[in-house]
Structure 1
Amino acid sequence: MIEKVLFTLQLIQIDFFTGFGLFTILYFLFRIFIRNPFIKKIDEESNRFISFIGIVYLILWFIGIIVELYFLNDEDRSMLLSRMFGKYWFGYWIQPLLWALITQLLRFKTIRKNIILRILFSILLMISIERMIIIITSFHRDYLPSSWEMYNEIGFYPSNFVLSLFLKIIVFLVFVGIFYSINKKLKSLKLR
């Protein structure tokens, strides 16, 4: 059970939050050149979808905590509780609550229209605080430029990276389309 909850949380983080962040950046780049009401409609639906996903993420995160506390032995449970409510409690709570807050703030039209806030929110949704700390500490290490690699052993090539980012946007937009069609169907049933 806990594995399924953790898998779903990672799916939301990696595919939906990152996909929304990439879509937002791409949307504002396209909006400079193209003023199309269809693109604006896609943006509105993606904001509704990510707000819904933020609620789902928060609910699943709390369910994951409850299930994990239930199945842990006494020693591990006390360690988790001390991590959750101990000296550095904010490190445990800040990331999921920040993601939930950001996704719910996108319900407000003034925030959705503000370009600076939207890009800041998209960056915060794409890069977790843990990743930011890792990036900042890696810049502060004493690495020589000769130790930097353009390509590594696992086959990281820029074309693969761009393709994976493009696929994240496509997957996100497919789920936005599914969300839109379900909402449209529910509204038509509600009007009957």
Structure 2
Amino acid sequence: MRENILLILQIITVDFFTAFGLYTFLFLIVSIFTKKPVLKKIDEEANGFIAFAGVIYFTVWIIGIFVFYADSNTEEQTSMLSRMFGKYWFGYWVQPLLWVSLTQLLRIRTIRKNVLLRILFSFLLIFSIEKYVIMMVTFHRDYLPSSWTMYNELSIYPSNFFLMLLAKILMFLLFVGIYHLIKSRIKIVLERK
């Protein structure tokens, strides 16, 4: 059960939140050059999908808290409660609540249309606090980059990186399309009743 919850949370954060941030940058660049109404419709559906994904994330996260607590022994439960409500409680709560609040704020039209807020939200959805801390520690002045190489057998080449980002955006748009189809089918069924 724990592994399934962690997998769902990872899929939502990596494949949906990060992909939405990348999609937003692509959308803002493309919207400078073209003003087609289909582009606005896709963006509305993408915002609706990411708000829905935020609700799913919050639900699974809350369920995960209870499952992890129930499956733990007494020592782990005490440690978990200490992390949740102890001296550094904000480290436990800030990132998930930030993701949920950002996705739900995108339901508001004025926030959704504000370019600067969309760019800020994209950065916050792409780079979590954990990723930010890792980058700061990595580039700290005491870190010795003697093992840095430009291209080794494990590195990602720029062309592969670009294709990986493009594939992530296309996969996100595929899920947005599926979300749109399901939403329109539900609307048709509700109108018939």
Q: Please, what TM-score do these two structures have when normalized by structure 2?
A: 0.95
Deviation string for 1:23-43 (max 9, x for gaps)? 000000001101111011000
Of 41-50 and 144-153, more deviation after overlay is shown by 144-153
* SS of the residue 2:152 aligns to: coil
* Rounded Cα–Cα distance in structure 2 between residues aligned with 1:80 and 1:143: 32
2:100 is aligned to: 100
* Rounded Cα–Cα distance in structure 1 between residues aligned with 2:170 and 2:63: 29
1:24 is aligned to: 24
* SS of the residue 1:161 aligns to: helix
Deviation string for 1:25-75 (max 9, x for gaps)? 000000110111101100000000000000000000011110000000100
Of 136-145 and 20-29, more deviation after overlay is shown by 136-145
* Rounded Cα–Cα distance in structure 1 between residues aligned with 2:180 and 2:72: 40
Specify every segment of 5 or more residues in structure 2 that has no aligned partner in the other structure, as ranges. none
* Rounded Cα–Cα distance in structure 1 between residues aligned with 2:163 and 2:29: 18
* SS of the residue 2:154 aligns to: coil
* Rounded Cα–Cα distance in structure 2 between residues aligned with 1:144 and 1:137: 11
Taking the TM superposition and a 5 Å limit, the aligned residue runs for 1:40-189 are: 40-143=40-143, 147-189=147-189
User: Cα offset for 1:142?
Assistant: 3.5
* Rounded Cα–Cα distance in structure 2 between residues aligned with 1:175 and 1:8: 15
* Rounded Cα–Cα distance in structure 1 between residues aligned with 2:91 and 2:165: 28
Specify every segment of 5 or more residues in structure 1 that has no aligned partner in the other structure, as ranges. none
Q: Please, what TM-score do these two structures have when normalized by structure 1?
A: 0.96
Of 154-163 and 166-175, more deviation after overlay is shown by 154-163
2:6 is aligned to: 6
* Rounded Cα–Cα distance in structure 2 between residues aligned with 1:8 and 1:105: 22
Deviation string for 1:64-92 (max 9, x for gaps)? 11000000010011001101100000000
User: Cα offset for 1:145?
Assistant: 6.6
* Rounded Cα–Cα distance in structure 1 between residues aligned with 2:63 and 2:143: 42
User: Cα offset for 1:148?
Assistant: 3.3
* SS of the residue 2:35 aligns to: coil
Of 134-143 and 25-34, more deviation after overlay is shown by 134-143
Distance 1:31 1:70, change over 3 A: same
CA RMSD for the aligned pairs?
A: 1.3
Deviation string for 1:136-182 (max 9, x for gaps)? 23222245676532223414211121111111101100000000000
* Rounded Cα–Cα distance in structure 1 between residues aligned with 2:33 and 2:97: 35
- The number of equivalent residue pairs is 192
User: Cα offset for 1:135?
Assistant: 1.2
One-letter identity of the residue aligned with 2:105:
L
Distance 1:142 1:153, change over 3 A: farther
* Rounded Cα–Cα distance in structure 2 between residues aligned with 1:61 and 1:128: 16
* Rounded Cα–Cα distance in structure 2 between residues aligned with 1:40 and 1:135: 34
